[in-house]
Structure 1
Amino acid sequence: MKVLNIDAIVSTTERTIKFRGVVHPVVEMSVENFVVTTTDAERLEKEGVGIRSQVIGTADAILRSVPSLDKETLYGMSLNQLTVIYRFISGEDEFEDYENVVSDEEGGEKK
């Protein structure tokens, strides 16, 4: 008999976001989070909504992936910071526009 051990599949890359000295863990995207995020994105695209709705949708996706980050803190960030966080939680690791933004560990070398 063959057994597929799904419990053995764990993310090997822990991601965190550091903002104002506080480290916030990034939760690996669940199927439910993916469905909600893509449904929202498809709805926004179909409706042709404005930038306000797009920013709110991006913020909501970040809050689902970084549960320790509160809405007030997130809404206090710049749009540029919001965009970079969204790219990071989406799996992007290369940020050519910025030096020393992504490191292997806190205080570590740039990836």
Structure 2
Amino acid sequence: MKLLNLDQVSATTDKVIVIGGVEYAIVPISVGTFIKKTKEAEEYVKAGVQDPLREVNIILDLISECIPAAPRYAIEALSLPQLQKIAEYIQRDDVDGAEDVEGNG
């Protein structure tokens, strides 16, 4: 018998983000959250109405899911360019401003 124990497969990344001097690990987005956020974004685009508040909340929710240890108020205190940079960093590795650093252990 072969067994693939997904409970032992780590759902982590080696990405970390610093907000207010505190390091927070970025975790991969779950499939369920990805589907939910993709549907929300599609509905927003289909509505054809610009709603900056809704757009920012979609981004904030996604970032909060991927950086669960970061308090929501810390994320909300960031600027819009910072939020956009975080969203980009979550999706890709080659983001301007991201640097390779040695592990602390």
**TM class, shorter-length:** 0.7 to 0.9
| Matches of 2:72 and 2:11, distance apart in 1 | 26
Corresponding residue of 1:85: 86
| Matches of 2:81 and 2:102, distance apart in 1 | 21
Most deviating of 62-71 and 9-18:
9-18
| Matches of 2:11 and 2:100, distance apart in 1 | 15
C-alpha RMSD over aligned residues: 2.2
Matched, 1:105 2:101: yes
| Matches of 1:79 and 1:62, distance apart in 2 | 12
Corresponding residue of 2:48: 48
Aligned-residue sequence identity (percent) comes to 31
Gaps of 5+ in 1: none
* SS of aligned partner of 1:17: strand
1:2-61 deviation per Cα after TM superposition (whole angstroms, max 9, x unaligned)? x36253654674211111210111111111111111111111111124222111111111
The aligned runs of 1:2-41 (5 Å cut-off) are: 3=2, 5=4, 7=6, 9-10=9-10, 13-41=13-41
Aligned residues: 101
Normalised TM-score (structure 1)? 0.76
Q: Which has the higher contact order (CA 8 A, sep 6+)?
A: 2
Corresponding residue of 1:69: 70
Amino acid corresponding to residue 73 of structure 1 in structure 2: A
